[in-house]
Amino acid sequence: MVKHLHYCRMILIFFSIILLLANHGLAAGETGEYLKYQEPQPPASSWLSASGYVVSLLLTFLLVLGLAYLTSRFLAKKINGPAGLNNGKIHTTLSLGPNRAVYVVEIAGKFMVLGVTEQTISLLKEITDPEDIEHLKNPVNIVLPPEQFDNIFHRQLLALKQMNKKFPVVFGLDTHEINEKEHENDSRKR
């Protein structure tokens, strides 16, 4: 509560300073001669008025930054809720179609299998086996041997080349260009 009063006092002081610095510009508009044409006069600004303008800009910028910071802290507290309840984690997801999935989640130290649809969330099973829980906490990364990765890569590359031949218009080639490229590739291989 005391902290909020301190912030309110700071904001009030800030606005008072800005009004004092900007007050000299308001007095010029009170003459009532807005629509009379006058020859343009060279600006008669002093270093004092220029520095006052720069200081007011800096103070305004600092006020905006401060308000943004306080707003983000306030919203973070509202969104996250009470401390200790935001320790949930999704370990695995299995999509079963549009708007349907099975999730394995950890909430408050419990592992649960949830069925999620557009209308409902259902508890399918609670995982209590320590071995299954350890497997979920420390998933095993499958690493392919380099030879197997190389085979998969070459198969995918060949499939892309076949797509190029099947749909030449999509890839911006006409059939004459494709035949020339195939002929050049065959010549190089021999």
Residue type, 153: F
What does the pLDDT look like over 66-113, one tens digit per residue? 999 999 988 887 776 655 445 678 888 888 888 889 998 988 888 899
How far apart are the C-alpha atoms of 52 and 21, rounded to whole Å? Answer: 6
> What is the structure's pLDDT at 162?
76
What does the pLDDT look like over 102-148, one tens digit per residue? 998 988 888 899 999 999 999 998 888 888 888 777 776 666 677 77
Residues 17-26 as b or e (16 or more Cβ within 10 Å = b): ebeebeeeee
